[in-house]
Amino acid sequence: MTPVTAAESLTPELAAARALGDDALVLAQRLGEWAGDAPVLEEDVALTNIALDLLGQARTLLSLTGDEDELAFLREEHEFRNVQLAELPIGDFADTTARQLYFSVYQELLYAALADTGGALAPLAAKAVVEVAYHRDHAEQWTLRLGDGTEESHRRMQRAVDGLWRYTGELFEPLDGLGVDLPGLHPVWRERVADVLGRATLTVPGGPDRTPWAAGAGRQGVHTEAFGRLLAEMQYLHRAHPGASW
Amino acid sequence: MSGQSPQDAWPLWEVFVRGRRGLSHTHAGSLHAPDAQMALRNARDLYTRRAEGVSIWVVPSTAITASSPDEKDPFFEPAADKPYRHPTFYEIPEGVKHL
């Protein structure tokens, strides 16, 4: 088995592609957990459709930096470069909706800017931005309905947007080699998220948008406790039966 | 989740999908959704994910009035023996599709 090229040994362009690919792969895996378990059958299909879009993006991005299967199934926690927001447990439907809102608004801005760079990732970004616009719409529709729904749905949606807020700052850390001014997108993101939350009668969270760990976060390979269990489930079959397929 | 399940609480919608420009919308199936906008999005995910459509209509199932099976004979029987009503006595020009 050839060893997977470490993120540190990649060119900045490829390291950035791997980071974005890991975001998409890990979030796809999380969304897949809703298969058969969503509040209604229709939502089950909607969430897994989104997961499949993300998985497609992940395959394209990761294939640029190595063998997609080896990258998905044979790396350990610290070798993944996804943001921590992507790896957090799915929680309840409000938690998943809040993450989808935060992440899809970010991804839509990112891919639109990336498509404009005209670089190697521009064609992928141009295709993905259309998919992500739908993901954002889906998250927005549910945020509005849960925030401006019943007393209970409002309370749980507010708790979800508050709880995930501290993972949103990492999304806009500069990413070398991408050619996109991520910190420059942050104010636009805040504005768009605040607009949706406002229409949903929710309060924009006021606390810090970074976790207090000085060591950095997902982009530096530092992950949350729940990530190990996600990888165990994702990688178990391949590690037990190398090269298994059906 | 407490109380009634969404399947009981959410109304049923009928979905009509137009496959291509020039065709009419045809009934594709039904689904549950809390309101029309969500019904449209659910329909997109359930009935057009393999590129089946260019346009979707959703209609509350309660808004549809259907003919009753009991009235089948008075409704449809009289048309059975009137072949002259069928436009089958002329050639269809080549190139005319979906007629």
Domains of chain B: which residue ranges?
Answer: 6-68
User: What letters, b where the CB count within 10 A reaches 16 and e where it falls short, cover B20-50?
Assistant: eeeeeeeebebbbbbeeebbbbbbbbbbbee
ipTM of the complex: 0.75
Going from N- to C-terminal start, the domains of chain A cover: 7-239
Hey, how many other C-beta atoms are within 10 angstroms of the C-beta on B6? 16
Q: Is the dihedral of CA A128, A131, A134, A139 positive or negative?
A: negative
Contact check, Cβ <8 Å, A40/B1:
no
φ, ψ dihedrals at A162, nearest 5°:
-65, -45
φ, ψ of residue A123 in degrees (nearest 5): -60, -40
Q: How many whole angstroms separate alpha carbon A143 and alpha carbon A157?
A: 7
- Shortest CA gap A181–chain B (Å): 33
If you measure CA to CA, which chain A residue comes closest to B34?
Answer: A145
End-to-end CA distance of chain B: 50
Strand order, beta sheet including B12-18: B26-32, B12-18, B55-60
CA distance B64 to chain A (A): 22
Q: Give the Cα separation of B61 and A198 in Å (integer).
A: 33
Q: What percent of chain A has pLDDT over 70?
A: 97
Q: Are A140 and A157 in contact (CB under 8 A)?
A: no
Is the pLDDT assigned to residue B2 strictly greater than 50?
no
A162-190 per-position pLDDT tens digit: 999 999 999 999 998 899 999 999 999 99
Residues A146, A159 contacting (CB under 8 angstroms): no
Q: Is A145 on the interface with B (CB under 8 A)?
A: yes
- Taking 60 as the threshold, does the pLDDT of residue B3 lie above it? no
Closest in A42, A137, A138 to B31, CB measured: A42
Distance from the Cα of A46 to chain B's closest Cα (Å) equals: 6
CA–CA separation, A179 and A118 (whole Å) = 10
Put simply, whether B8 touches A (Cβ < 8 Å) is no
- The separation between CA B59 and the C-alpha centre of its own chain, rounded to angstroms, equals 9
Please report where in the chains the tokens 């636009």 appear, as a residue.
Answer: A188
User: Which single residue is written with the structure tokens 């394209």?
Assistant: A60
| Superfamily of domain B6-68, CATH level 4 | Phenylacetic acid degradation B (3.10.20.520)
Q: What is the mean pLDDT of residues A87-100?
A: 96
Chains A, B: CB contacts under 8 A, how many? 32
Return the beta strands (E) in A179-227 as ranges: none
Pairing of strands B12-18, B26-32: antiparallel
Comparing CB atoms, the residue among B1, B33, B35 nearest residue A39 is B1
User: Contacts of residue B1 in chain A, CB cutoff 8 Å?
Assistant: 39
- CB within 8 Å of B63: residues ≥ 6 apart: none
Residue B87 has pLDDT above 80, yes or no: no
- Asked if the Cβ–Cβ distance from A42 to B7 is below 8 Å, we say no
On whether any CB of chain A is under 8 Å from the CB of B33, the answer is yes
Q: What is the pLDDT of residues A137-157, one digit of tens each?
A: 999 999 999 999 999 999 999
The reply to whether A49 touches chain B by the CB within 8 Å rule is yes
Cβ A145–B38 below 8 Å, yes or no? yes
What topology does CATH give the domain A7-239?
Ferritin (1.20.1260)
Q: Mutate which of A34, A37, A40 to test chain B, going by most B C-beta atoms within 10 A?
A: A40
User: Which residue of chain A comes nearest to B8, CA vs CA?
Assistant: A40
Of A162, A149, A156, residue with least CA distance to A200: A149
List beta partners, residue B16. B27, B57
Q: For residues A26 and A188, give the distance between their C-alpha atoms in angstroms, rounded to a whole number.
A: 25
**Residues A221, A237: Cα–Cα separation, whole Å:** 23
In a 3-state reduction of DSSP, which class is residue B31? strand
Give the one of A40, A43, A141 whose C-beta lies nearest to B37's C-beta. Answer: A141
Cα–Cα distance for residue pair B17/A39, rounded to 1 Å: 25
B32 to chain A, closest Cα gap in Å: 7
Q: How many other C-beta atoms are found inside a 10 Å radius of the C-beta of residue A125? A: 23
Query: To the nearest whole number, what is the mean pLDDT of chain A?
Result: 92
Mean pLDDT for the stretch of residues A71-94: 94
